[in-house]
Each structure stands twice: as C-alpha cells, then as structure tokens.
Structure 1
Amino acid sequence: MSWHHADLAGLDLETTGTDPETARVVTACIGRLDEESWTAGNWLLRQDAPIPEGAIAVHGITTEFANTHGEDPKAALAAIADEIYAHWASGRPLVVFNAPYDLTVLDRCLSREGLGNLDVRGPVIDPRVIDKQFDKYRKGKRTLTDMCAHYGIAFSADEAHGAEADTKAACMLARQLSHLATGNGRTTVGDLDFDDLHRSQATWYRDNINDFAAWAKRQGRPLDDANTDWPIR
C-alpha cells in the first residue's frame, strides 16, 4: 500500500545563518499530517548572540523578540529532540526539506548544549532529494516554494520561512512525490517502505553530489566541500 495517505511527521527550523556548523535555531516546528488534520508544536529560542540582519530579513525574528518571548535553548532543543524520537517510535517518518541542513543544525546545537548528538532512530523523507532523483534535469530553482508551485501545492512566497508553514508544505509535498514512478514502470516512490526509501535517499543524495562534483571539476571549478552524508553531515 502506498504511503500517500500515511501519517507523516515533519520538521523545519528557522536559524541564524546558512552554515549548518555554526547556525543557531531561532524557531522550530514539528508537525503531524494525517488524512484528516494537521497539528503542530512550535518553539522560539532565546539567543546568546545577535541574530544577523540577513537572517532576520528571511524569517522576520529579531534578537529582541527572541530574547523577550523565547525559551531556554537547552530545554527547547531537548524537547525538540524528544518529540522527533517520539514520532519515530510511533512509526512515523520525519519529513525534512533539505535534511542535511536542518538536521545538521539541530545535531550541532544539541551537541553545543551538552545534549549529545541527534540519533537518527527512524526514517527521514527529504522531498528535495526525491525530486532531484526523478527529475534531474529540470531547469530552475528547487526551493520549497518553487517545488510546491511545480507540483501544485498551495504555498505562497509570503508563507515561506515561517517554520510551521514550511513544515506543513514539506509534508504535503512528500505526499505528492509519493506518486512519482521509480523508473521500472511498475512501482512508485510511495510503494517503497519507509526504511527502504530512507536507504535509497542516502544513495541518491551521494550519487547526485558526486555527479555534481565531477561536473564542477570538468569545468575547472572543483568543489571545496563535496560532503555526501545524508541526512546529517
């Protein structure tokens, strides 16, 4: 049975920057999408350093707002990890758009707070990896907004970069991608069980990065960092 109608969990983070090794979590959402409803939990974290203006321009959260209304980062990060583990324990996959960014940020933030590393105890679904595997040569960007538009998911640019809106859109996109044919003419992405899909995505991501690195080298622009680890770097 296809997981098109499966119960999905999702995660999105809004952060202080684009480098997952140094970015801090500003807001986080973990949501659950079933056939009939959407439920979500949200976190706003206090900051130990000013949020860069570039990040504020993306998600709209200022340092003053975060420190006035946010909660202790260590407690919030522990709660986020526990919620993820609870979904995995219940058999739900975790949908994360561009997982190597969000999950690496979360992993490093947990470690920084003395909470250990994020333990991948269940399957992850990364719509960006699936789309890239089955529509390799489509021109244009593959942001969440662009991909939702391509696959007919109602999601506007005005909604983008709000953690809950992004989480729900990613879950809806994952369901839509479950209909993609795998190429053998008999099965779809949704026919893969979650564990097989998780393993397949790790392979697809690695192969895609290696292909791009080889292309960049041929162009005389070798990549400084061609990390192939998925879903956490």
Structure 2
Amino acid sequence: MSWTERLAVFDTETTGTNPLTDRIVTAFVGIIDANGEVERGSDWLADPGVPIPEQAAKVHGISTEMAQENGELARDVVERIRDSLNWIARNKLPLVVYNAPFDLTLVAAECRRHGLDAPVLGPQVVDPLVIDRAVDRYRRGKRTLTDTAVEYGVELLDAHDASADAVASGRLALALAQRYPDELLVDLPTLHEKQREWAETQAASFEDYMRRTRDANFTADRGWPMRALN
C-alpha cells in the first residue's frame, strides 16, 4: 500500500522562531485520507507559561491573555502531543510536517523542559519543504507553506492556524507525490532516507552560499527530521 493512502499531519504555532527555547501555543494532530479529507484530529491551546510576544501573537492570533484564560497547562498539552506522535509511530503512519526540524525539535525540547520522554519516531516523516526544494530545485520565489501551497494548487484559507496548516501540509504532500511519482512513490523508509540526504545537501548548499556572500564563519543548522537539543 502506498504511503499516500493515509497520512498523519502535525503543526504547531509558538511563542517564537527558536525551537530550542520557544514554547508551544497551539497544536494540531490529525489524519487525512488519500483525497486529503480529514478523518479525525485533535487540537490544543496551551498556556505556555511565558508571555507571548506581540509579534508572535500577530501571526497566530493568540495573545498572552487568551492563552492564560483559555489554555490548558503547557505540560498537559505537551504530553498529549507526545502521546499522539507515539501512537502515529507505533502504527507506522507517515507523519507529514512542513519544515519538520522546527516542530519536532520544538516538541522534544518541550518534553525535556517538562520532564517527559520525547516521542520516538521511526523512518516515517514526510517533509514537503525538503521534498519541494529537492524536486523543483531551481524554482524562484519563497518556499513558505503559503507560497508552496499556491504552487501546487492546495487551498490554505487560514494560514498560521495549526489545524489549517497541518491539513494543507498533508494535501501538499499528496500533490507532490502526484506530480513527482518516480521520485516519491517509494516505500516510506526509502522516502525518509531520501529526505535525510536532500536535507543535508540543502544545508550544505545554504552554508556555502552564506560563507561566500555574508559570513565566512556561518554554520547552517543540521539535523533532519530533528535537530540535536544540546
């Protein structure tokens, strides 16, 4: 059976852009079918325990006050996300995460922060950002989820809402597989390894570019689908 028959999808909205130090504000984990229709899903609003910067609140619409009044305890939310990801791993479903190293590193860091074991995933992560950069290397323009969704005809009506972004990422993975079947319609472990190699190549290329044009000592972040925490 193709990995495109049934996909798990995951996304977070956060207090900032550093997965090692920032916190989860909202999250969504769901399952979609081969047509991109949502079978089921769970979403959470957390009180991150720290102020939500105004810039972050403008992106996802959740203020510190909203999170404090309506959010669950951060540890409880992190534990439920962890348990959901472990369930996905046990059932060997593909897990679609756009820019996976951000969200998966964030979850691992949050687990450590709250004294929880991190989720243990197998070779099942599907990252449309890494894939798109590999299969359409020379396309000009931004590679945000919003821009890439437009490129592949995927509707995204509420960008920076965790559930909307997660579902759009899953549908984008399906669209990529349809457009590039020879590269992508392989077994899940093979696809996972391809992405690991692509991600390393992309990081090395970016590092080389930055060293030549801006900072001779620049080092790109490494680690796909999750960065090291130390």
2:180 alignment partner in structure 1:
181
| 1:219 equivalenced with 2:218 (yes/no) | no
Whether the 8 Å CA contact 1:180–1:188 is kept in 2: the answer is no
Q: How far apart in 1 are the matches of 2:128 and 2:101? A: 12
Percent of paired sites with the same residue: 39
Residue 226 of structure 1 deviates from its aligned partner by: 1.2
Q: Say if 1:3 and 1:178, in contact at 8 Å, map to a contact too.
A: no
Indicate conservation of the 8 Å contact 1:9/1:94, yes or no: yes
Q: Using the alignment, how far apart are the partners of 1:60 and 1:219 within structure 2?
A: 36
Describe the SS at the equivalent of 2:101.
helix
Q: CA deviation at 1:122?
A: 4.4
Deviations 1:155-194 (A, max 9, x none): 23xx100000001000000001112437xxxx2312x111
CA distance in 1, matches of 2:118, 2:88: 17
Tell me the TM-score normalized by structure 1. Answer: 0.91
Please say which of residues 221-230 and 28-37 is displaced more in the overlay: 221-230
| 3-state SS of paired residue (1:188) | helix
> Alpha-carbon deviations, 1:11-37, whole Å to 9, x = none?
000000011111100000001001464
Per-residue Cα deviation, 1:89-119 (whole angstroms, up to 9, x for no partner):
1221110000011111111011000003332
CA-CA distance at 1:86 after TM superposition? 0.8
Q: Indicate the SS of the match to 2:13.
A: strand
Query: What are the ranges of 5 or more consecutive residues in structure 2 without an aligned counterpart?
Result: none
Take 2:150 and 2:218, find their aligned partners in 1: how far apart are those partners?
A: 32
- In structure 2, what is the Cα distance between the partners aligned to 1:231 and 1:188? 19
Regions of 4+ moved over 6 Å: none
- Shift in Å at residue 220 of structure 1? 4.5
Whole-angstrom CA distance in 2 between matches of 1:145 and 1:77: 26
Q: Which residue of 2 aligns with 1:57?
A: 58
Contact kept? 2:51, 2:64, Cα under 8 Å: yes
Q: Which structure 1 residue ranges, 5 or more long, are not aligned? A: none
User: 1:151, 1:176 within 8 Å by CA — same for their partners in 2?
Assistant: yes
The equivalent residue for 1:3 is 3
